[in-house]
Chain A
Amino acid sequence: MQHVADMTIFRGQALRPAVEVRGLSHVYAGRDGAVPALADIDLTVPAGKFVVIVGPSGCGKTSLLMMLAGLRAPTSGSILCDGRPIPSPDPSRVGVVFQEASLYPWLTAIDNVEFPLALKHAPRDERRSRAEAMLKLVGLEGFGGRYPHELSGGMKQRVSIARGLVQDPPVLLMDEPFAALDEQTRMTMGQELLRIWSQTSKTVVFITHSLTEAVYLADEVVVMSARPGRILDRVTVDLPRPRTYQMMATDVFGQLRERIWQQIRSAP
């Protein structure tokens, strides 16, 4: 836990970015030879920021996220996460929340949240109290004994978020976490995520297809092109926080959304 303490100091002084990607390219072996998936990605995410990545399907957003999580190695370039390379997954530095509820159906909600701690053989009491605190944070206090099939889609994603945060990583990566939810639940979960984010001061890298969701959540929206994925634009969203639903109807919101849409549409 030493580096977490360090990080707080650094974050306070804004000395080093939470995520730093330099000259990253990725080529994978496809059916007809090498397929370039990502090209020349440079991306700096300052600590505590909420960055949303948008782009057309197949632009390598998910590949990029996998590399940030240490789940896949880039072909070239470097990634620094919390100041150090991330050659393999490290849930104490980077938590990941996936699209579909990737909760284990044979474990209760609280056992799911404890899962990363159990992998580390953390003492049982500590596991339980950490997991309970996380469930409380995501608004699911008292639901720990439920199995995933007894929870709604939104509640499952709350549990996933709790699981991603249980080791208190400075960085949280989210791969279209609300894509499978209906519109209303999705809006509620966006609001909830912002609340959790403001309470924990994490750095969030969030992938989505929804431009509305992107503008609503982000400090900065990173727009990517179709394959090979490149960064086309970085749009700063300077809407005040806390964000409200009413902001979606404002001109500023519409203009930002329009600018991003034009970028994606006109990209080759």
Chain B
Amino acid sequence: MTRPSPRTVRRLIGLGLLVLWEAVPRLGILPALFIPPLTKTLEVLWLDHAIYWAALLVTLSEVAVAMLIACGAGILFGAVVGGVAGIRRLMLPVFSSLYAVPIVILYPVFTAWFGIGSESKIVFAGVYGFFPVMLSTAAGIRTIDEQYLLAARSMGASLPQLLARVIIPASIPTVLAGLRLGGALTIIGVVVSEMLTSADGIGYLVTKNRTTLDSPRVFAAIIVILALSVVFDIFVRAVERRTLVWQTAGRRERPSQAVPAASLPTPAAA
């Protein structure tokens, strides 16, 4: 008998949780108000799919604009802060501290400034996602191996060539890690702000149905948000796989990465 692979075990656990979701309220272990059965939740999701679809589009458009802001500004500021020593010493401690502030406290202020429509969500989520992108870009650029730059200069690289051929490719792994975190935070930012003060979006559906104790519709909204996060994660993974092929190339096919020196062609003149 062979041991099941981790992937199989993961799938079994997932399946088990779904079964529990259906069984626990049906058997009366927990009241259906706390956890409505899975089939009931899916049923209202199907019945109200037009409402959920419209809300999802609102949320998605807010997430898209907020991510553009977070990633664009994050990479730009991160590059400047990471690349220019003077600015780094001045600004990095400030940004690092700001990152630790629960920015959600600013959301009421944003609603006062930008209203309860999409604008305040976009600004809030953009700011929320900005910090990890900016900090990891700064870290990525600051921690580039000096040797890479020295070698490029010894080969006659100009400053633009240094940027395009060394600095950017060398910082891509760290920047991508930041984009992943920043993107996830942007989704969280949009949903949370929709739940707080809003008239539209998936987060709004969670709050609205909770106040009417309509548990199946709350859980239906939660399922949509989960699906959104999962799709985002799959997307980022795919981007990472494509961009970072040099970190993983050959590892899947070959158990040992380095070729033993013995397999080298023997030099004739040795």
Which residues on B sit within 8 Å (CB–CB) of A170?
A: none
Which residues on B sit within 8 Å (CB–CB) of A126?
A: none
Does B156 lie within 8 Å of A98, measured CB to CB? no
In this complex, the member of B155, B261, B270 whose beta carbon has the largest number of chain A beta carbons within 10 angstroms is B155
Known: A105-B246, A141-B265. A195 touches B270 (CB 8 A): yes
A144 to B191, CA, bound (A): 49
Residue of A nearest to B172 (CB): A106
Smallest CB–CB gap between B210 and chain A, Å? 48
8 Å CB contact of A154 from B147, B155, B254, B261? B261
Does A104 lie within 8 Å of B258, measured CB to CB? no
Instruction: Tell me if A's interface is mostly helix, strand, loop or mixed.
Output: loop
Which of these binds chain A: B22-30, B80-88, B126-134, B162-170? B162-170
Interface positions, chain A 80-135, Cβ under 8 Å from B, are 88-91, 96, 98, 100, 102, 104-108, 115-116, 118-120
A146 to B253, CA, bound (A): 13
A195 to B152, CA, bound (A): 27
Which residues on A sit within 8 Å (CB–CB) of B269?
A: 195, 198-199, 242
Known: A147-B246, A199-B269. A119 touches B154 (CB 8 A): no
Chain A, interface size category, equals 35 or more
Which residues on B sit within 8 Å (CB–CB) of A89?
A: 153-156
Smallest CB–CB gap between B160 and chain A, Å? 11
Does A150 lie within 8 Å of B257, measured CB to CB? yes
Which residues on A sit within 8 Å (CB–CB) of B265?
A: 139, 141-142
A185 to B261, CA, bound (A): 9
Does B249 lie within 8 Å of A96, measured CB to CB? no
Count, A-B residue pairs, CB within 8 A: 96
Does A116 lie within 8 Å of B156, measured CB to CB? yes
Q: Does A188 contact B (CB under 8 A)?
A: yes
Residue of B nearest to A88 (CB): B156
A100 to B146, CA, bound (A): 11
Q: Does A263 contact B (CB under 8 A)?
A: no
Which residues on A sit within 8 Å (CB–CB) of B6?
A: none
8 A-B contacts (beta carbon < 8 Å): A89-B153, A91-B156, A104-B166, A106-B172, A107-B246, A146-B250, A195-B269, A199-B269
Given contacts A149-B247, A152-B259, 16 further A-B contacts (CB under 8 A): A88-B156, A90-B156, A96-B151, A100-B147, A106-B170, A115-B165, A120-B156, A139-B267, A142-B265, A146-B259, A150-B254, A155-B259, A185-B261, A195-B269, A198-B269, A242-B269
